[in-house]
């Protein structure tokens, strides 16, 4: 195995070319989340949100998957593709929200609410998914909750997404006290200041934000929803622009892809540190050396598959 330090001294164009070449030689697909660095996004075979990438993971004919995101995303790809090798360029790239719940804590909660249906955000470990009835993403969470009718729902691990689903559906939702630190840090003052600084701009906020922020947004949308809205409504928003309330990686992507639309971040400090751990050097090293393979216990994978499969069947 080549020492990763040898990659750190290579120029970006050489790393990019080595990644492109290695993908072909090793029959590897590169799945990239919207929050990744732009230079990583540029090399993606598929670029998108958690739901879109989960679907692409099931469609690819490639023998290997390299997931440029955080650990739960690579685990989800492995859950859906047990026969494929799945890799994560940096094993430290975890999701702080996913760490806010573990299997033992969920088991205790299920004892406390024995009649509740467990809906788990895909931002979670395989072990937690395995104990859940169905998973969801930010783009289909409301649809998933509605599909369950009048059942009591234990929603893990994102409190803000849980409360948003409750507000949208009227369901009896018990929220887990987890959160995404990036979205949870957005405040009403950020909204007030953003609208003052960019009068007339449309504010689109991610449903992982607090309800007081979502209540002041013009539109609530997942990352893919934000991308699609700006792309499809350029004539309407070109004059005053759009304020994007999510991680800065997506703001940069939307700005790059829509040069005629003024695009502003709700907060320039909205950075997911673990998403940014992935670099060109690490991706090249990972693909060429097949390092950081995701290995899951087969029984846990099978149980988690049921919850993820139900999510994909709903939409």
Q: Is the pTM of this model over 0.85?
A: yes
Q: In this structure, are residues 138 and 49 in contact, taking their beta carbons and an 8 Å threshold?
A: yes
Task: Tell me what the pLDDT averaged over the chain comes to.
Answer: 96
Strand order of the β-sheet with 64-68 is: 46-48, 28-33, 64-68, 85-87
- Cis, bond preceding 157 (omega within 30 deg of 0): yes
pLDDT of residue 218: 98
pLDDT of residue 240: 97
Quick one: how far is CA 163 from the chain centroid? 19
Confidence band for 67, pLDDT divided at 50, 70 and 90: very high
pLDDT of residue 299: 97
- Paired residues of 311 in beta bridges: none
For 151-205, the pLDDT digits (tens) are 999 999 999 999 999 999 999 999 999 999 999 999 999 999 999 999 999 999 9
Residue 37 above 90 pLDDT? Answer: yes
State how beta strands 219-220 and 202-205 pair. parallel
Confidence band for 66, pLDDT divided at 50, 70 and 90: very high
| Domains, the chain | 5-95+275-295 (3.40.50.10800), 98-180+302-314 (3.40.50.10800), 186-265 (3.40.50.10800)
Alpha helix (H) residue ranges in 81-140: 103-112, 126-130
For 248-293, the pLDDT digits (tens) are 999 999 999 999 999 999 999 999 999 999 999 999 999 999 999 9
């Amino acid at each position: 195995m080549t020492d990763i330090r040898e990659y750190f001294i290579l120029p970006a164009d050489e790393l990019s070319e080595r990644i492109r070449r290695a993908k072909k030689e090793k029959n590897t697909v590169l799945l990239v989340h919207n929050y990744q660095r732009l230079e990583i996004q540029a090399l993606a075979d598929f670029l998108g949100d958690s739901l879109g990438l989960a679907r692409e993971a099931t469609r690819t004919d490639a023998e290997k998957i390299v997931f440029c995101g955080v650990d739960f995303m690579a685990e989800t790809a492995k859950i859906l593709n047990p026969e494929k090798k799945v890799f994560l360029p940096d094993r430290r790239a975890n999701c702080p929200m996913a760490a806010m719940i573990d299997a033992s804590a969920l088991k205790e909660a299920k004892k406390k609410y024995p009649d509740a249906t467990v809906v788990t955000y895909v931002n979670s470990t395989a072990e937690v998914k395995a104990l859940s009835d169905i998973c969801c993403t930010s783009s289909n969470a409301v649809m998933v909750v509605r599909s369950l009718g009048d059942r009591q729902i234990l929603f893990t691990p994102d409190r803000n997404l849980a409360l948003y689903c409750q507000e949208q559906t009227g369901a009896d939702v018990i929220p887990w006290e987890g959160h995404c630190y990036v979205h949870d840090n957005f405040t009403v003052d950020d909204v007030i200041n953003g609208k003052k600084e960019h009068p007339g701009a449309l504010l689109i906020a991610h449903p992982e934000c607090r309800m007081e922020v979502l209540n002041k947004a013009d539109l609530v949308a997942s990352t893919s929803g934000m991308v699609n809205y700006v792309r499809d409504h350029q004539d309407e928003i070109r004059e005053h622009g759009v304020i994007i309330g999510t991680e800065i990686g997506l703001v940069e992507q939307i700005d790059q892809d829509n040069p005629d639309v003024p695009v502003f971040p709700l907060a320039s400090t909205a950075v997911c540190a673990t998403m940014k751990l992935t670099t060109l050097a690490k991706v090249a090293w990972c693909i060429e050396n097949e390092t950081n393979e995701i290995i899951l216990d087969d029984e846990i994978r099978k149980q988690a598959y049921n919850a993820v499969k139900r999510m994909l069947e709903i939409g």
